[in-house]
Structure 1
Amino acid sequence: MPLQNKHLAVVLQNTYLPFIFEEAEALGIKMTFFYNQEEAEPTHLKHVQKFIPIDLFQAPEKALEVIKTEHNQNSFDGIMTIYEPALEFVAQLAKELNLPGLSPFVISNCRNKQMMRKILKDSNLNTPYFKEIKNEEEVKDLLLTYPVVIKPSNGFASQGVSRANNKEELIDSIEKVRRVNEEDLGKFTKNKTGIVIEQFIDGPEFAIETFSVEDKVYVLSIGYKGNSKGPFFEEGVYIAPAPLEENVLESISQEAARAATALGIENGPAHIELRLDPAGKPYVIEIGARIGGSGISHYIVKESTGINYMELVFYYVLGLKPPALKDKGQQKKVVGNYIIPVQGHGIFKEIQGVEDVHRDSEVKRVIQFITKGTEIFPYPHFSGYPGFILTTHDSYSDCEQYYRYLDYKIKVVYDNKVNA
């Protein structure tokens, strides 16, 4: 096995989502894990050879030296992260250590929504109206066609994203995003506190998982992500493959591949979120140069097509040529991620119903992120997902039916609850 005994450094992975560790163990890859020093050492990850704490966001220079020192003593064949706020740090580190990876310039352009929009527009992709501002004073005389979406320039996980239907709502939303930038995202983005206003694309949303090899973009999976109208855009479901006509699938695939190429993702994974407008025209909304959802996209791709997405990424970051790919994976099952909705805010107590669904044959994993006593803030602040329920089904309709059952079955309970 070409990956066996290769040494991989992993930076700041969410340990509730163990796919990266499980696949590395199965493939015989040795791992060093640089984890957040504010968290307990994740000794339950038995396959990891060494755990090293770092404070990436408060002391990045020290974190850099810690990782470099470890590399000098026990060299890595590759380094990676699938945690969005750590992407730029890891890209810079890979460059300094002469390890495989996309350039920091490419990662920075993907992370910055204003730059991403500009690059896509300059490459003649379908692009919604967009403008970056710093505060509400800049929009008082701005003529806009409503509705619009307001979001942090360097946000992630839908933090601070909201819809405005008029000037009054726009000014209110800008103030909310300003607070999210300062209070929630500040430690991740430092002084990158811009705000983007963009046209709202009214239509269904899809997630496209791609892998590029020497500028050839392979579309591995297209999944349905819902049709949220706002005012906030809480994640709900991710079901693949999406039940679309062949011509629509082709249109989405082409636009996603063009976007990955335009952003310079010549090698490796991309997670692309896209909406169709009422005329069926695809608009790329977000693009990340990583496996999506801290590994959830790996589950989606592997279970629905049989393609081991994480293995492909391992080949790339370890400097090896990946196995040959086809333009389309072979559909095996319909798979999904039911994202448990927050259902309000307050002091989190428990999630009722999860113990029962553990026993359902459709359910492959139940992952709970939030612990008792955690304070959950109202949107557009983002306190984290309550949990994921990963499922597999024989048909799309079976998946839809089961998720309707989960809507009824799963209840998030708060002390001092305030309804959403």
Structure 2
Amino acid sequence: MFFADKPYISDFFKMSVRDNGIPVVDTDTAKQMDLYDGTKRISEAQAVETIQKLKDPILYTTSENAIGWIAAHLAFSDLPGKIELFKNKLKFRELTKSLFPDFYFKGVGVEHLERIEFHQLPLPFIIKPIVGFFSMGVYKVSNIHEWGNAIEAIRTEIDQVKNLYPQEVMDPSAFIIEQCIDGDEFAVDAYFNSLGEPVILNILEHVFSSDSDVSDRVYMTSKKLIETNLKEFTEFAAKIGRLAGVKNFPVHIELRRDCSGILLPIEVNPMRFGGWCTTPDLAYLAYGFNPYLYYYLQKQPDWAEILKDKENRLFSVVVLDNSTGLKAEEIESFDYKRLISTFERPMELRKIDFKHYPVFGFLFTDTREDNFIELKNILDSDLNEFVTAKSSGEKK
């Protein structure tokens, strides 16, 4: 059974659950998500009763917001504990310490940030919420000046996002400081099947504009990327899965390959694929198979067949986060038409209410490898060229 929860579910997700008879738990939030008529809904009581009878039920959440429901209603099972192993970044580092014994990490309460002995920290390092989402509160620190700026920015951001997500999804009261992992960054949608074996549903490269960039602007997948990394990433996921002992468990894995070729996990997000229905929907747009259905039916992609005609193409999701420097209330509008005109093969645009969430939308694109410049341009942009500010009525 699946959980449909805020902040967003896509039309493709709605179609997937309706057309394939996948039960959706009829929570109060699910009732507000405009699921299509004909969707199979089951009551919360039915869901609990069914799960009580199953050892490893097949569950999926569109958003980690649903983790709160799972914690409250499924405390009799080991699922809340399994989720916590991944969602809590400090517990995840402790879980995987045997695999990466030399990796530095340290937990700290937000109220103690100013008291840290800065000279004892490895430079550069990353600081982020122990329980977080969507790159909020994530900062790279290379010197004492940046440390002061990061603390100030964290306190400002806490005020901005404290009411956007439940505490199970975003808790800015505690942070983890980790050594910085240099190298190429990747994201992997996968699930652990009924035997605990990982099945890879997509591999993406998280592309950055610079070494200091920690944003979520562009995730890109391709035939070459999948063929090059499939075997190694599957083995990597298997090691983590064995430590956690998970079965019928979807994950969104973020990892880096360092300069010596060693893979190191950044984090593993439990019970979902990419947030906001992004990366699983990209897999369908790019490769023509349905990751939601593949997980539900325990199917494995035939990558050799799927990738046959995908040479020299880059499929991307562009996250249009508000990087303008303007507050939402200072923005009159966002020029989506102009944005689309800068891409040769836009596949789908999803507009988001930027007055409620710090993102203008998501754009799915199909780019020729030799036209990477269009992705580089959006990576380097602060998006001001697409914004009309209220104060002047002119494009910033």
The one-character-per-residue Cα deviations of 1:339-391 (angstroms, maximum 9, x if unpaired) are 224241222322224367389772221001134xx28xxxxxxx422111112
Aligned to 1:302: 284
Aligned to 2:238: 257
Q: Does 1:17 align with 2:10?
A: yes
Aligned to 1:351: 334
Deviation at 1:325, TM superposition (A): 5.3
Deviation at 1:170, TM superposition (A): 2.4
Deviation at 1:235, TM superposition (A): 1.0
CA distance in 1 between partners of 2:323 and 2:172 (Å): 31
Deviation at 1:18, TM superposition (A): 2.7
Aligned to 1:117: 93
Deviation at 1:221, TM superposition (A): 2.2
The answer to whether the Cα contact below 8 Å between 1:79 and 1:90 also exists between their aligned partners in 2 is: no
- Name the TM-score, length of structure 2 as normaliser: 0.78
- Name the TM-score, length of structure 1 as normaliser: 0.74
Aligned to 1:415: 390
What residue identity is the alignment partner of 2:187?
A
| 3-state SS of 1:335 partner | strand
Of residues 274, 278, 282 in structure 2, which corresponds to 1:292? 274
Q: Number of residue pairs matched?
A: 373
CA distance in 2 between partners of 1:212 and 1:329 (Å): 22
Structure 1 residue runs of 5 or longer lacking an equivalent are: 1-7, 52-65, 316-321, 376-382
Alpha-carbon RMSD across the aligned residues, in angstroms, is 3.9
Aligned to 1:384: 358
Q: Does 1:82 align with 2:62?
A: yes
The answer to whether the Cα contact below 8 Å between 1:152 and 1:177 also exists between their aligned partners in 2 is: no
Q: Does 1:107 align with 2:90?
A: no
Q: Does 1:208 align with 2:191?
A: no
The answer to whether the Cα contact below 8 Å between 2:2 and 2:22 also exists between their aligned partners in 1 is: no
What residue identity is the alignment partner of 1:113?
K
Q: Does 1:159 align with 2:172?
A: no
| 3-state SS of 2:27 partner | strand
What residue identity is the alignment partner of 1:357?
I
The answer to whether the Cα contact below 8 Å between 1:10 and 1:32 also exists between their aligned partners in 2 is: yes
Larger displacement relative to structure 2 (169-178 or 293-302): 169-178
Structure 2 residue runs of 5 or longer lacking an equivalent are: none
Change in CA separation of 1:95 and 1:416 when aligned onto 2, cut-off 3 Å: same
The answer to whether the Cα contact below 8 Å between 1:151 and 1:162 also exists between their aligned partners in 2 is: yes
The answer to whether the Cα contact below 8 Å between 1:206 and 1:225 also exists between their aligned partners in 2 is: yes
Deviation at 1:36, TM superposition (A): 4.0
The answer to whether the Cα contact below 8 Å between 2:203 and 2:225 also exists between their aligned partners in 1 is: no
Change in CA separation of 1:48 and 1:28 when aligned onto 2, cut-off 3 Å: closer
CA distance in 1 between partners of 2:36 and 2:345 (Å): 26
- What fraction of aligned residue pairs are identical, expressed as a percent? 20
The one-character-per-residue Cα deviations of 1:57-108 (angstroms, maximum 9, x if unpaired) are xxxxxxxxx9338978xx9997642212332532553465x7xxx7111101
What residue identity is the alignment partner of 1:143?
Q
Change in CA separation of 1:387 and 1:366 when aligned onto 2, cut-off 3 Å: same
Deviation at 1:185, TM superposition (A): 4.0
Q: Does 1:132 align with 2:115?
A: no
CA distance in 2 between partners of 1:141 and 1:405 (Å): 36
CA distance in 1 between partners of 2:223 and 2:389 (Å): 34
Deviation at 1:197, TM superposition (A): 0.7
Deviation at 1:243, TM superposition (A): 4.1
Larger displacement relative to structure 2 (207-216 or 130-139): 130-139
CA distance in 1 between partners of 2:332 and 2:283 (Å): 33
The answer to whether the Cα contact below 8 Å between 1:276 and 1:282 also exists between their aligned partners in 2 is: yes
The answer to whether the Cα contact below 8 Å between 1:275 and 1:282 also exists between their aligned partners in 2 is: yes
Q: Does 1:184 align with 2:166?
A: no
The answer to whether the Cα contact below 8 Å between 1:136 and 1:171 also exists between their aligned partners in 2 is: no
The answer to whether the Cα contact below 8 Å between 2:335 and 2:386 also exists between their aligned partners in 1 is: yes
The answer to whether the Cα contact below 8 Å between 2:204 and 2:225 also exists between their aligned partners in 1 is: no
Aligned to 1:312: 294
Deviation at 1:11, TM superposition (A): 3.8
Q: Does 1:26 align with 2:19?
A: yes
Change in CA separation of 1:397 and 1:238 when aligned onto 2, cut-off 3 Å: farther
Larger displacement relative to structure 2 (12-21 or 211-220): 12-21
CA distance in 1 between partners of 2:344 and 2:152 (Å): 46
Aligned to 2:203: 222
The answer to whether the Cα contact below 8 Å between 1:151 and 1:177 also exists between their aligned partners in 2 is: no
Deviation at 1:231, TM superposition (A): 4.8
What residue identity is the alignment partner of 1:282?
L
